[in-house]
Amino acid sequence: MKNDDILNDIDKKILVGSKMGVFNNPLGRKLQQLHGLGLLDPWAIGQINKRVDKQLRKEAFRAIPFKQPQLYSGELILGADEKHHPIKSPVQYMNAGSLLVANTGSGKTTLVSYYATQIAHRVKGMWLVDIRKKEFRLLKTEFSNMGIDLIIVRSRKFKINPLQVPYHVDPYEYASTIADVLVKVLNLPHRASVLLSSSIINMYKKFNILNGGQKYPTLFHLFEAVRNNRNANSQSRQAILDNLEAILLAFGTEMLGYYRGWPVHELAKRHIVFELTGQPEAGKDLVLNYLVVAEFISRISQGISNRPMDLWMSIDEGQRLFSQKKESIGHGGNSITDLAGLVRGIGAGLFVSVLTPDDLSNKIPAITSTKLIGRCGSIGDYNAAGQFMGLTKEQIFWCAHNMVPGMFVGQVSDGPWRYPFLYTVPKMKQLKVVTDHQADESLKSLDSLDVEPVEFSNWSANERIEVSNNTVHKTQRVVGLTDSEFRLLKAIVDNPMLSSSSYIKLAKISPNTLKKLRPIFIEKDFIKEHTVDSSTRGRSKRIWEPLDAGKQAIARIPQFNRSK
């Protein structure tokens, strides 16, 4: 039996009107109540007809294929509908994962800034992460007008120790967690996780962390521990040394040389802009993964469950961070993706904005509940992003031809209205420029945090070897060799004039390491490269001749020689 058979005209009007939200006011609700009780008089019927017909006419003449959102209450203004009426939602709708897909120049940062200024005074902590730009710092004046101190941490001003056990977390548990984080961000072989985990636990024992000590080992100590563990699986060990060395050299002791860095649970109570621009990509991953994972794991360990949002994190331009390719090629992508599904339960909101859904980790749309689309670059992007929120073909087609910067299609995570809706976000007024000096001044409010730097400031990844070398440039008095450099150079000295590829086996290094070290050795005058054309076509064979500087560098390491 069809509904048509049993429903009269007024029933149908009530059903249609309810879907369109025409009874969402006191009189409307009373009309619904009267209908339910069968107490309709001609006036009430007239009211119902009038309301529904009016709305139907409105919808019929609407040029956009989106329903009028029934989002009229809440503290957060998402934007304005086509008649410039505000669309609102409770701030707690952001207490979950949110995903924004929009291409460059479509107003992503403006939208995040707009929300950040509204959410700022409703949460204890806010982390605005600028992965590629320096735009969030402009909010400093806006925040100070609201009485909120926005701290700006520039890329080289971090004081962190990823091996510092987060508040309320068991060191054993954290050792394996941070080992996994390091494996993922440094793109290490899976087996390296075991070596890292055991090395970290050994260091925790040595530093008395397991008995409540507060002087944590650093990544420099970890590097040394792995370097000295010559019995470890050589591939894992070499991979750790090679990749960690790059990070340690890039960041130095000024960023990572702290027995106790900034406690992450304290950072989570502050409004901070983290500027990662200028850091190496692996470095960005490390900093971000550490901060987010440390806070998440700390909250989980505290047994926090289903609490209101008190930390809002926004990761701008997170394309590379949540890359599907990286996730499939590497060893699981990044740790944030794994934990992002838990954000709601632990009172943290995670807002991720990306340029395109292409190459976006499949997990991200699945674990984010609020979804927003801005102007995208291609119909493919609209299709992919539209599927996340269930847009119809007509809606996707409309978006492809009508979206402009500042216009978004949204779908909120919670509440009775979960249809996609169209809205615009106002342009930000011209914000006051914040200089680097002002940014650094804002860091003073972190001075009160308990930080203990390491004693050494001139750490080098190299075992420092003095080589008084006349053939090397006069200013280059000290020549340092890393483990892989030593092995390659020794192989060249012991087996001179072979083709470069022969040294991969002889030195037991990877082709990538060989490629990396070649220009270094040539620059340092360790070797001279000759080319031999092996046939009438193709790349020339490279023959490496050890020079005096290289021979001396090897000759100056007798102890190391013996240990090999």
Partner 1 sequence: MRGKAFHNRIAEETKTIFSNHHWQVYTEHRYRKNGITTYLDLFAIKGNQTIACEIETTIRHAIDNTLKAQVAGLVLWIIVPTRTLRRQIERKLESSGVTENRQSIKTILLSQVNTELNLL
Binding residues vs partner 1 (CB under 8 A): 496-497, 528, 530-536, 540, 543, 545
- Rounded to a whole number of angstroms, the minimum distance from the CB of residue 468 to partner 1 is 24
Nearer to partner 1, 432 or 528 (CB): 528
Length of the chain: 564
- Rounded to a whole number of angstroms, the minimum distance from the CB of residue 523 to partner 1 is 19
- C-beta of residue 382 within 8 angstroms of C-beta of residue 400: yes
Nearer to partner 1, 64 or 543 (CB): 543
- Rounded to a whole number of angstroms, the minimum distance from the CB of residue 558 to partner 1 is 25
- C-beta of residue 515 within 8 angstroms of C-beta of residue 491: no
- Rounded to a whole number of angstroms, the minimum distance from the CB of residue 531 to partner 1 is 6
3-state secondary structure (DSSP) of residue 423? strand
CA–CA gap between residue 63 and residue 59 (Å, rounded): 8
- Rounded to a whole number of angstroms, the minimum distance from the CB of residue 556 to partner 1 is 22
Instruction: Note every long-range contact of 415-418, with CB atoms under 8 Å and residues 24 or more positions apart, other chains counting.
Output: 415/71, 415/89, 415/90, 415/93, 416/70, 417/21, 417/69, 417/70, 417/71
- Rounded to a whole number of angstroms, the minimum distance from the CB of residue 471 to partner 1 is 15
- Rounded to a whole number of angstroms, the minimum distance from the CB of residue 550 to partner 1 is 12
Nearer to partner 1, 476 or 540 (CB): 540
Nearer to partner 1, 244 or 547 (CB): 547
C-alpha dist (Å) from residue 34 to 63, 109, 302: 34, 48, 51
CA–CA gap between residue 229 and residue 196 (Å, rounded): 11
- Six-digit token pair at 443? 């860091």
Nearer to partner 1, 14 or 493 (CB): 493
Q: What is the 3-state secondary structure (H, E, C) of 279-323?
A: CCHHHHHHHHHHHHHHHHHHHHHCCCCCCCCCEEEEEECCCCCCE
Q: What does R_g of the chain's alpha carbons equal in angstroms?
A: 30
CA–CA gap between residue 175 and residue 169 (Å, rounded): 10
CA–CA gap between residue 109 and residue 369 (Å, rounded): 20
Nearer to partner 1, 246 or 543 (CB): 543
Distance of CA 244 to the CA centre of its chain: 19
Instruction: Note every long-range contact of 504-512, with CB atoms under 8 Å and residues 24 or more positions apart, other chains counting.
Output: 508/234, 509/238, 509/484, 510/238, 510/242
Helix axes 192-206, 234-256, angle to 10 degrees: 50
Nearer to partner 1, 398 or 544 (CB): 544
Nearer to partner 1, 53 or 529 (CB): 529
- Rounded to a whole number of angstroms, the minimum distance from the CB of residue 340 to partner 1 is 55
Backbone angles phi, psi at 504, to 5 degrees: -60, -45
Say what the alpha-carbon torsion angle 38, 44, 50, 53 is, to the nearest 10 degrees: 0
3-state secondary structure (DSSP) of residue 18? helix
Nearer to partner 1, 79 or 550 (CB): 550
- Rounded to a whole number of angstroms, the minimum distance from the CB of residue 535 to partner 1 is 6
Q: Exposed/middle/buried for 36, CB within 10 Å: 0-12, 13-18, 19+?
A: exposed
Nearer to partner 1, 40 or 498 (CB): 498
- Rounded to a whole number of angstroms, the minimum distance from the CB of residue 498 to partner 1 is 9
Nearer to partner 1, 260 or 490 (CB): 490
CA–CA gap between residue 517 and residue 245 (Å, rounded): 14
- Rounded to a whole number of angstroms, the minimum distance from the CB of residue 476 to partner 1 is 23
